[in-house]
Amino acid sequence: MNKGNLFIISGPSGSGKDTVLQKVFSLCPNIKFSISVITRDMRPGETPDGKYRFISREKFEEMIANGELLEHNVFVGNYYGTPKKYVEEQLESGFDCIVEVDVNGAAQIKEKMPDAVSIFICPPSFEVLKSRLSNRGTDSAEAVNKRLEASIGEIKRAKEFDYVVVNDNLEDAVDGFISVIKSQHLKTKNNTSAIDSIVNK
């Protein structure tokens, strides 16, 4: 059995990344999602059993000290991190795994795991980005501006990624994303078990 593939996904707040990911998971149910640990407050509409585990700063710092995180970063004043064990277990068991992180987290993972495939989800324009951030209605104007600034900062680093998916039309974005996954499956290194099982008969 070949190991699973790790896909690192980044995209600024307002890129529509969550919607793209939800659709990808509904179409590719075997891909595992790495749940992040974070220290920010839960937003309206979020639940404790969703895409994040909400933990205290003390607990987060303990996880850093114990080497339990594959990467971590401070984003708009809060810690965000990827627990290492879950990701390693999925890959070892042959499952593909998606980690959704900011650009700093993506760079940290890529350095430790150069075989990981990184995908940046990008909004189609500044105007669309701004309007998506303002229309969420869950944050204050100050928070929206902070996120807009952070988003532009992230887009400046999009060129560090292996692939860029521009999310103008959801269907096309999902299609592009799944093409990357499929082409990764066709890589020779992901088919050595099939080859060996024939050659070694």
Binds ligand 5GP (CB under 6 A): choice among 71, 119, 165, 167: 71
Q: DSSP H helical segments within 28-96, as ranges?
A: 57-65, 84-92
Contact region with ligand 5GP (CB under 6 A), list: 22-30, 68-76, 138-146, 174-182: 68-76
Binds ligand 5GP (CB under 6 A): choice among 8, 100, 129, 173: 100
Sheet holding 117-122, edge to edge: 32-33, 97-100, 6-10, 117-122, 163-166
Contact region with ligand 5GP (CB under 6 A), list: 21-29, 80-88, 129-137, 179-187: 80-88
Cα–Cα distance, 198 to 28 (Å, whole number): 28
E strands, the chain, where?
6-10, 32-33, 36-38, 52-54, 69-75, 78-83, 97-100, 117-122, 163-166
In terms of CB distance, is 124 or 190 closer to ligand 5GP? 124
The residue number with the shortest CB distance to ligand 5GP is 105
Cα–Cα distance, 103 to 17 (Å, whole number): 13
Let me know: does 7 contact 99? Beta carbons within 8 Å.
Answer: yes
Q: Does 36 bind ligand 5GP (CB under 6 A)?
A: yes
Q: Does 20 bind ligand 5GP (CB under 6 A)?
A: no
In terms of CB distance, is 136 or 190 closer to ligand 5GP? 136
Task: Kindly list the residues in this chain that would bind ligand 5GP in the complex (CB under 6 A).
Answer: 13, 36, 40, 71, 73, 75, 80-82, 100-102, 104-105
